[in-house]
Amino acid sequence: MNKLLIVGTVAFDAIETPFGKTDKILGGAGTYIGLSASFFKLQQAIVSVVGEDFPQEYIDLLTERNIDITGLEVVKGGKTFFWSGRYHNDLNSRDTLDTQLNVLADFNPVVPEHFKDADVVLLGNLHPLTQSSVLDQMEKQPKLVVLDTMNFWMNCALAELKEVIKRVDVITVNDEEARQLTGEYSLVKAAAMIQQMGPKYVVIKKGEHGALLFHGKHAFFAPALPLEEVFDPTGAGDTFAGGFAGYITQSENISFENMKNAIIYGSNMASFCVEKFGTERMVNLTKEEVLERLHEFKALTQFDISLEEE
Amino acid sequence: MNKLLIVGTVAFDAIETPFGKTDKILGGAGTYIGLSASFFKLQQAIVSVVGEDFPQEYIDLLTERNIDITGLEVVKGGKTFFWSGRYHNDLNSRDTLDTQLNVLADFNPVVPEHFKDADVVLLGNLHPLTQSSVLDQMEKQPKLVVLDTMNFWMNCALAELKEVIKRVDVITVNDEEARQLTGEYSLVKAAAMIQQMGPKYVVIKKGEHGALLFHGKHAFFAPALPLEEVFDPTGAGDTFAGGFAGYITQSENISFENMKNAIIYGSNMASFCVEKFGTERMVNLTKEEVLERLHEFKALTQFDISLEEE
């Protein structure tokens, strides 16, 4: 089985949506990525850091999913990264209520020996120097490196971000971030500019409006599944990235054609994530449900216009 | 050839976008619908009204496209409907600067005798009573009636709007209008409620974010084509409707499967409309360009995940 190496936060979240609120629950980009990737045939390891306050039951939850946690540092006496946010009524925007970096402030990722030859590396949203450090530790060039980032790093560590962007094959950003990174309003133009910065594949996440994949002159679009109810968007982008990277890792195929399938899988996984608070839906999800929903994605997008008859 | 009957405004527009501004140019929902539908094999007639100030060259432009104008009333001494608007920088929203109803204020649509047996009727965005009046004049039940409307009529003529909605097969509204009409934020729920009002097919237009087609428990999504530049969104929704209705009329097939093709065609036609000011792009468009872009839509949306291998 192929190996997927993930670096990303493992954290506590407290979430408020129009539908309710949670106390501190399991969260973090690395958690969502790992849970999502666990639906594919692969070996995966997560590199992250938590404090001594992190419950064993959450660690068990990861290992039960066959997520290797050799690279999950537990800092004695330390406190786990905590984020708290409140979503607006349309669920498309949110206010951050609290961010406590805690052990994340001094995080030095250590890649486990047996994952220094990983086939696919997914650099979750973290400081660009942390992302670079993971790449520096690899003993062979991965077949594919995927990077997720956000506007925060564009504001406070742009030079470092541009350095790590040079080294990756795929970048995932949302539409506003693509515009901020390039100064281009048109997503087509922004994606072309980002490709000149390094990554030959650009994924632009548009939340409820789906995701676009750009490669050279080619574009592919994966819609979000229209849902009766979106309960909590937290982690949807990371779950998308985990589905994308998980499918690529499983299929051993980094062609553009296969990346189309991968972003459909990403969108599929994300459609579950938003149905419950936090990781709840991902934890109880079955492979059968994933497969069933793929049929819905096909029905939603596939058509049969004969181009010859015209 | 099958017959398509269109009712909709034929008007003057003055448009400002971040890229420039126009004087009074040819506009109106009926104009955009007719131009778009003219790319299909069908007979079409437009029912509308203009003033004596409406130039012969614009009338010629319609007739050269084989649009029957028997039902286009020219009011002696009257002035043509005029709309003026300014788009914001993101082109997603606009301010109306001026609206002069002029001859539209007393518009009584008269359906030409030879189109009272039309196969498809497209009721463009007009007062609901005007839309109803067209249906009243039909001598046989059309195979398909498509209605477009907007929030304005929900605000000032809701009862009349609900009456005409009962009588149609397909409704096209944007996402905000679907929410306003039903009081439901979720588009899935809103579409289900609208189906209970009458139309068994609900098309929700989301502009640059594509369009959704709902029918019972089924949904289909057509993306907007990612464009390097959107120059002027005026008429895009009407051009979409014209492509939808034009394709249905040509293909004589009102199944849900064929409606999928129809909204892809609608999205295809709309992708051209926004590339130039007003009707300019539609007037110079060729069938070859339309066909070529259909290949782009296929590449943008079609994927090949084997559901058996999992």
Q: What is the pLDDT along chain A (310 residues), one digit of tens a residue?
A: 999 999 999 999 999 998 889 999 999 999 999 999 999 999 999 999 999 999 999 999 999 999 999 999 999 999 999 999 999 988 888 999 999 999 999 999 999 999 999 999 999 999 999 999 999 999 999 999 999 999 999 999 999 999 999 999 999 999 999 999 999 999 999 999 999 999 999 999 999 999 999 999 999 999 999 999 999 999 999 999 999 999 999 999 999 999 999 999 999 999 999 999 999 999 999 999 999 999 999 999 999 987 655 4
- The CATH number of whichever domain residue B44 belongs to comes to 3.40.1190.20
* Chain-chain contact of B301 with A218 (C-beta, under 8 angstroms): no
* Contact (Cβ atoms closer than 8 angstroms) between residue A225 and residue A296: yes
How many structural domains does chain A have?
1
Residue type, B209: H
The 10 Å Cβ neighbour count of residue B280 is 16
Residue B277 falls inside a structural domain: yes
Minimal-distance CA residue of chain B relative to A90: B185
Q: Is B41 on the interface with A (CB under 8 A)?
A: no
Residues of chain B contacting A90 with CB distance shorter than 8 Å: 185
How many whole angstroms separate alpha carbon B218 and alpha carbon B31? 32
Nearest one of A51, A6, A60 to A24, comparing CA atoms:
A51
Residue B310 falls inside a structural domain: no
Residue B308 falls inside a structural domain: no
Residues of chain B contacting A41 with CB distance shorter than 8 Å: none
Mutate to test the interface with A, among B88, B193, B221 (most CBs of A within 10 A): B221
Which structural domain range is residue B34 located in?
A: 3-301
B195 pLDDT higher than 70: yes
Angle subtended by helix axes A236-251 and A29-37, to nearest 10: 40
Q: Residues of A numbered 50-89 whose beta carbons fall under 8 angstroms of chain B's beta carbons: which are they?
A: 89
Closest residue to A219, CB basis, from B264, B287, B300 = B300
Q: What is the pTM of this model?
A: 0.95
Tell me the shortest Cα–Cα distance from B22 to chain A, in angstroms.
Answer: 23
Minimal-distance CA residue of chain A relative to B295: A307
* Residue B230, both tokens: 């959107």
Mutate to test the interface with B, among A303, A304, A308 (most CBs of B within 10 A): A303
Residue A65 falls inside a structural domain: yes
Residue A309 falls inside a structural domain: no
How many contacts (CB atoms, under 8 Å) link A and B?
100
How many whole angstroms separate alpha carbon B61 and alpha carbon B278? 14
Residue A117 falls inside a structural domain: yes
Question: Which string of DSSP letters, residue by residue, matches A17-54?
Answer: ETTEE-SSEEE-HHHHHHHHHTTSSSEEEEEEEEETTS
The 10 Å Cβ neighbour count of residue A160 is 16
Residue type, B65: R
How many whole angstroms separate alpha carbon A15 and alpha carbon A236? 14
Q: Is B227 on the interface with A (CB under 8 A)?
A: yes
Per-residue pLDDT of B22-32, as tens digits, reads: 999 999 999 99
Residue A310 falls inside a structural domain: no
Closest residue to A189, CB basis, from B228, B303, B305 = B228
Residue B227 falls inside a structural domain: yes
Question: Which string of DSSP letters, residue by residue, matches B138-196?
Answer: -SS--SEEEEE--HHHHHH-HHHHHHHHTT-SEEEEEHHHHHHHHS-SSHHHHHHHHHH
* Residue B13, both tokens: 């527009």
- B304 burial via Cβ count (<10 Å: 0-12, 13-18, 19+): exposed
Widest Cα–Cα separation across chain B:
71
